[in-house]
Amino acid sequence: MSDSITNTLDLIGDRWTLLILRGTFRGLHRFSELHDDLGIAKNLLSHRLAGLVEAEILAKVQYQGRPVRFEYRLTDKGRELSPALVALMQWGDRWCTEGEPPTVLTHHECTTPVAIDVRCPSCDRALDATEISATPATPAVLGGLS
């Protein structure tokens, strides 16, 4: 039986795809920029980019006519992956680094470091993993998600 995590991992669950997404969130949009940043083989980068375009996570946008060249832009669907990538980064900062994290994400406007947490929309409390239950989706449960 398939679930949402399995379906998501089928789309973005390998190392290179996640690193390509990280690059696009950091403003790298051209094939050459992503290739130089990641050091990935060109055939692998082409394959991963094609998959992200097919999944409508990235859009392939022409930026030059002669010769024809494209760049890769996050779609709304792609931009909604930001909290997941930030959560992975913050987990890695806590459990996979020695000392200070290599990068700190801040709010552009006030320069405060950002944090991801899971909150109850009703009581606005941050929740620990032990306070979360998995409930089968029903119309009554789904109605509470809006």
Specify the pTM.
Answer: 0.86
Strand partners, 30: 71
CATH, domain range 4-79: 1.10.10.10
Check if the beta carbon of residue 21 is closer than 8 Å to that of residue 78.
yes
Residue 130 is given by DSSP the state G
pLDDT tens sequence across 92-137: 999 999 888 888 999 999 999 998 889 999 999 999 999 999 888 8
Buried b / exposed e over 86-98, threshold 16 CB at 10 Å, is eeebbeeeeeeee
Question: Quick one: pLDDT band at residue 144, thresholds 50, 70, 90?
Answer: low
Each domain of the chain, given as residue ranges in start order, spans: 4-79, 81-146
Residue 1, pLDDT above cutoff 70: no
Q: Provide the 10 A C-beta neighbour count for residue 134.
A: 5
| E-assigned strand segments in 10-139 | 58-64, 69-74
pLDDT tens sequence across 31-60: 999 999 999 999 999 999 999 999 999 999
Provide the phi-psi class of 91: left if phi over 0, else alpha when psi is between -120 and 50, else beta. Answer: alpha
